[in-house]
Every structure is written in structure tokens, then in C-alpha cells.
Amino acid sequence: MTTIFHLRQWKQKKHKFASITAYDAAFSRLFDEQGIQVMLVGDSLGMSTQGRNSTLPVTMQDMVYHTLCVRRGAPSCLLLTDLPFMSYATPSQAFDNAAALMRAGANMVKLEGGAWLADTVSALIERGVPVCGHLGLTPQSVNIFGGYKIQGRNAVGADQLLTDAKVLEQAGIQLLVLECVPATLAGLVTHELNIPVIGIGAGAMTDGQILVMQDVLGITGNSAPSFAKDFLAAGGDIATAVRLYVQEVETGQFPASEHSFNYEGDSRADYQNATNATSEDQTVASGT
């Protein structure tokens, strides 16, 4: 059984790990057989599986159902499940819904948002619910962002994201997902936090990577994000494609520079120094 303890060990040893979204038993079983030890039942299912244009309509019933399915296929993986839009507006509501997901088989719940969620995170942790944070592009806030846009590309945005990450870690999150942020910023956050950090469209310096399963298999067509890679095109079959994804993450081949975003604007000296230090760490890690 993979646990958060293993992810902490991997971070210390600079062992990169691959994770993926899963929505049913058949695919979660296949992912498990090909070496995926961390899976996410994401509210991304609203777009990738239900055909909606955002994650906002996804319900708790959807998340419970798909969590049950994925757990049956992969009984030993570390399983994260998203709390969907407006299911954690208060700490009490968050606990009730998190409990339902844990009963369905989740090991940890993921919620989107910054420092304002600290009280909710603390309340969940105190009640025995492990929490994964999610910063950067948070799809549940798409209407505030005005679309699916890269976050943290200037000094103000970068400072806010780093502050949010530290506040959430202090509140008790045990894992953090960074989505669509500059690679150097993601590297800095990974360097500054003691908890494991998983990136999606966040460069190669995070502790782990995650992709939506349909993007890994190249079946999202023209809507595939620029940070994704079609591993099925090179692998030839689904099992080989997933195994190739795992191998390229573990060896540092993926994500490459073309799957990453750059920082824009003037940054503080300490920001640049920290990212330089993180880049050096990454070079050493890739060579071992």
C-alpha cells in the first residue's frame, strides 16, 4: 500500500514519481499494473469523461461513484479525490463531504484555493482527514481568472502563490498540486516546502508529475493542453504508453522545456537565488 510516507521518502531521495487521473476500475487496474502508485479521481472528469465545458457542474455523487470504481481497480494505490465546486464552503461542509469520499476509498482529499482555506484544512486534519492543496490554475475558479490561464508569471503573483503554499503547509496539508505555473516558481515552492509537490504544467523541478489520463493517451484531440504529451503515439498500446510516461517522469525526460512555462517580469534577488539553487538540485537528481 502506497502512503504519504512513501512520497515523503521519495522527496528526500529526489526520486521523481508519476501520477495520473483515473475514473474507473479498468483503467485504474491497468495504471497500477504499469507502476502508477498515486492516482487522482479529479473533478476533471466533468470535462474529460462527462463532456462538459468546465468542472463546475460535477457533484459529490459523481466523485463518490468514481472513487468507489477506482479503488476497486487499484486497492493499493495512494488515492486522492477532489472535493468538487462549492462542496467545502465551510469547515463543517468540508468535513461531511470529505468523510463521504474517505468512506468511498479515498486516502486523501484535494481542495483548490489559497491561504483562506487554512481553517478548513486545519479542521479536516484535526479530524483525521489528510488534505492535498491545489494552487496556481485552479479550474473551479475559472470564472474569476477569465479562462484557463497561467498563474504566477510576475513577482506579485509569484509572491502570493509562495505565501499561500507556506500558509497551507502550516495549516497541515500533506501534499500540494501546482498547476500551470512557471517552472522556476514551481521549483522554488518545491524547494521551500517540506511536503511533496506534484506538478501539472509546472515544469520538471517538482517532486512528482500528474496528467489527465486522456492527455497521456492522446485522445483529447485539439483540446490537449500544451504541457501534455501523447505517450500513446510513441508507445503503440495503452499499457506501453503508461509505462513510458512513468519512465520518462522518473528519469527526468518529461516534462521537457516545451511542456513548461516561463516566468515573466522582474523578480526579487532572493527569488532568483532560490530558483538557481533548485535548478542545481535538479541537475544532481537527474544524474543519479
| Residues acting as catalytic residues | 179
Neighbours of 61 (CB within 10 A): 10
Q: Is 82 annotated as a binding residue?
A: yes
Residue 156 CB-density burial (10 A; 0-12 exposed, 13-18 middle, 19+ buried) = exposed
Cα–Cα–Cα angle for 189, 193, 196, rounded to 5 degrees: 95
Cis peptide before 139 (omega within 30 of 0): no
Q: How far is CA 224 from the centre of its chain?
A: 17
Q: Is 44 annotated as a binding residue?
A: yes
The answer to whether 206 and 281 are in contact (CB under 8 A) is: no
Q: Is 281 annotated as a binding residue?
A: no
Output the nine-digit C-alpha cell for 252. Answer: 527526468
Q: Is 43 annotated as a binding residue?
A: yes
Instruction: Identify the DSSP state of 49.
Output: T
In angstroms and rounded to an integer, the radius of gyration of the C-alpha atoms of the chain is: 17
Q: Is 267 annotated as a binding residue?
A: no
Binding residues for 3-methyl-2-oxobutanoate: 43-44, 82, 110
Binding residues for Mg(2+): 43, 82, 112
Binding residues: 43-44, 82, 110, 112
